[in-house]
Structure 1
Amino acid sequence: MQQAHRRPIRQVAYFCDDVRAAARAHHAAFGSGPFFVADNIPLARAVHRGTERLLDHSSAYGQWGDVMVEFVQQNNSGPSPFHDLFPEGSGRHGLHHVALWVDDVDAEIARFAAAGAPCALRAEMNDGFVFAFADTTATLGHMTELYAPVPSLTGFYAMVAEAAASYDGGELITTIAFS
């Protein structure tokens, strides 16, 4: 197992009302991007705090220096790890999570839970990719996302970084789809 101190942050993610507007604003302020937007990301399963729930969300992914930046919006109403930090209807938004690559998502969920950071979400995409949020808000003020660096993920991260390295000021936002 990787040592905890050897787990660099791979992504910083913000909850917002509109991922495209947030991406444009972040680009204007910090030069991040370009951004790849996935609308209504399909999930095979989402278990929020022990209860299976619908979670319809959209995300914008771009590069911000050496780290990926994500903007995420929830498209459906109801409880979620996003609404845990930013209550529905509050109009609040901001830093939601940082992401780490781990060897075994379920083992890390258990490790974080044993350390006082319970699992806020364990989700599976249609292709079997698993991600989870450990609720580290009591100690860090935000969630910590956990996922294994499988080829589809590392390839996506590389594609976003390469797009940033070759960005010439053209189209800032490209719509993509996850199956």
Structure 2
Amino acid sequence: MLWEWGPPLDGIIQMAFVVEDIHAAMPRYANALRVGPWFLAEHFAFDKLTYRGAPSAPDIHLCLGFSGSMMIELIQQNCTSPSPYLDEAGKPRCGFHHWGVAATPGAYQGRLDELVEQGFPMVLDAVVGAGSRAAYVESGSGLGGLIELMEITPAVEGLFAHMRNSATAGYPAGTVLPFPGAPGA
């Protein structure tokens, strides 16, 4: 089975990168990798976020774009709040950050429990504005980044399908569009 925007239900749907300057990074990724258009959410809203068990409120910009059915996410943190986007010295962890894996609402908790039972400790637990849950788990050096488990509610699936469909609408490389709905939706 496939998600409405193309990838398999149990596959990788996203690759994410931390950048220092999201506005400078979007055209670089668009031109070199043919990603886009970008959907930019400045000051992305979380309804809830805990990092390593403690509440945190990082101010981040993020953008999403597609190359085929693969979603690319760029993340820029704008503050020094503890988060997986900064290293121990408070500097951005620039470069590849995480693999995004999707789960239906009914499968989300079981898939998260399975990852934790496999020895991947949870480092981030979040709820975004659309009420969708997300978690990061540490994957160790074997996978080269964190794993983000995303709960794909019908609203989120529609959002991602809209973004994916926009990728075939003939926008010039580097086009930046507003994030559909409220940031975090």
Fold similarity call, TM over 0.5? yes
C-alpha deviation, 1:91, in angstroms: 5.6
Sort the Cα spacing of 1:120 and 1:60 in 2 relative to 1 into closer, same or farther, 3 A: same
Q: Is 1:151 paired with 2:157?
A: no
Of the three residues 167, 175, 181, the one matched with 1:164 is 167
Aligned-pair CA distance for 1:134 = 1.2
Q: Which runs of 5+ in 1 are unaligned?
A: none
TM-score norm. by structure 1 comes to: 0.87
Q: Does 1:60 align with 2:63?
A: yes
For each residue in 1:124-151, what CA deviation from the matched residue of structure 2 results, as whole angstroms up to 9, or x when unmatched? 1233221111111333120111112211
Q: Distance in 2 between matches of 1:31 and 1:71?
A: 14
SS in 1 for 2:141: helix
* Percent of matched pairs sharing the same residue: 25
Matches within 5 A, 1:1-179: 7-83=10-86, 86-90=87-91, 92-103=93-104, 104-169=107-172, 172-176=175-179, 177-178=182-183
Q: Structure 2: which 5+ runs fail to align? A: 1-7
SS of the aligned residue for 2:172 comes to coil
What is the distance in 2 between the residues matched to 1:153 and 1:41? 15
Amino acid at match of 1:110: D
Paired with 2:95 and 2:31, the residues of 1 have a C-alpha distance of: 17
SS in 2 for 1:165: coil
1:115 alignment partner AA: Q
Q: 1:51 to 1:33 in 2, by over 3 A?
A: same
CA gap of 1:141–1:42, structure 2 versus 1, over 3 A, is: same
Q: CA deviation at 1:88?
A: 4.6
Shift of 1:171: 6.8
Aligned to 2:58, the other structure's residue is in SS state coil
Instruction: Render the CA deviation track for 1:111-170: whole Å, top value 9, x for unaligned.
Output: 211111111101012332211111113331201111122112111111111111112427
Richer in helix (by share): 1
TM normalised by structure 2 equals 0.84
What is the number of residues matched between the two proteins? 173
Contact persistence 1:37–1:175 (CA under 8 A): yes
CA RMSD of aligned residues (A): 2.1
Counterpart CA distance in 1 for 2:122 and 2:83 is 12
